[in-house]
């Protein structure tokens, strides 16, 4: 088997040393949630099948998000990641003020040991704000400004 970057079934380029496979799950439509922590909504799910008996799963999640709604207040966004349905392994967040029209960005990376088999990674999101606020990612209508992407990579142990 030749090492390669994989986007679904498409062979993109030779993989760097130690990389077995890579797959990306971009958000292609507009998304929004009014979920307020501790309740989270699913944003992006992804799966990767590990072919080695023992390897690492490298997770990279990036996004650009903003809030809408009234009243205009500072709001904290939170994202968390689950692997194979387990309790969240980590999370990250940022704040944004609707009055200034800011767009908040986030980049999160994690590397965890995994065994051979199919692994499911889910990005969940919520806000620490007040009712009436909506977190939005306009990846479908304004893709040059907003995005969310989950990249999974199997790496040799």
Alpha-carbon distance of 58 to 55, in angstroms, equals: 10
CA distance 60 to 100: 28
Q: What contacts 36, CB < 8 A, 6 or more positions away?
A: 126, 127, 128, 129, 131
Please give the structure tokens belonging to residue 148. Answer: 């969310």
Query: Residue 11's pLDDT is what?
Result: 47
pLDDT at 66: 81
Query: If pLDDT is split at 50, 70 and 90, which confidence band does 2 have?
Result: very low
- Cβ of 147: how many Cβ atoms within 10 Å? 18
Which distant-in-sequence residues (6+ apart) come within 8 Å of 40 by Cβ?
78, 80, 124, 125, 126
SS3 99: helix
> Which pTM value belongs to this model?
0.82
CA distances 142 to 30, 48, 150, Å, are 9, 28, 18
pLDDT-derived band at 87 (thresholds 50, 70, 90) equals: confident
93 pLDDT above the threshold of 50 = yes
Does 9 score more than 50 pLDDT? no
Domains and CATH numbers, the chain: 25-156 (2.60.120.1340)
pLDDT tens figures, 21-30: 999 999 999 9
Other CB atoms within 10 A of residue 71 CB = 10
Q: What is the pLDDT of residue 141?
A: 94
Q: Provide mean pLDDT across the span 55-60.
A: 94
Q: Is the pLDDT of residue 4 over 60?
A: no
What is the pLDDT, as a whole number, of residue 78? 86
Model confidence at 101: pLDDT above 80: no
User: In this predicted structure, what is the pLDDT of residue 6?
Assistant: 41
Angle at 78 between CA 75 and CA 83, to 5 degrees: 170
- Per residue, what are the HEC states of 112-151? EEEEEEEEEEEEEEEEECCCCEEEEEECCCCCCCCEEEEE
Tens of pLDDT, residue by residue over 102-122, are 677 888 889 999 999 999 999
């Amino acid at each position: 088997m030749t090492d390669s970057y994989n986007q679904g079934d498409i062979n993109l380029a030779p993989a760097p040393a130690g990389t077995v496979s890579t797959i990306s799950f971009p958000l292609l439509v507009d998304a929004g949630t009014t979920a307020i922590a501790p309740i989270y909504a699913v944003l992006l799910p992804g799966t990767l099948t590990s072919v080695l008996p023992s390897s690492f799963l490298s997770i990279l999640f990036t996004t650009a998000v903003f809030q809408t709604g009234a009243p205009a207040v500072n709001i904290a966004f939170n994202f968390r990641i689950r692997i194979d349905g387990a309790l969240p392994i980590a999370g990250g967040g940022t704040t944004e003020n609707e009055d200034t029209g800011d767009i908040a960005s986030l980049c999160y990376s994690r590397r965890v040991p995994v065994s051979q088999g199919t692994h499911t990674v889910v990005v969940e999101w919520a806000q620490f704000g007040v009712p009436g606020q909506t977190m939005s990612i306009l990846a479908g209508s304004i893709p040059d400004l907003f995005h969310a992407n989950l990249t999974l990579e199997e790496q040799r142990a």
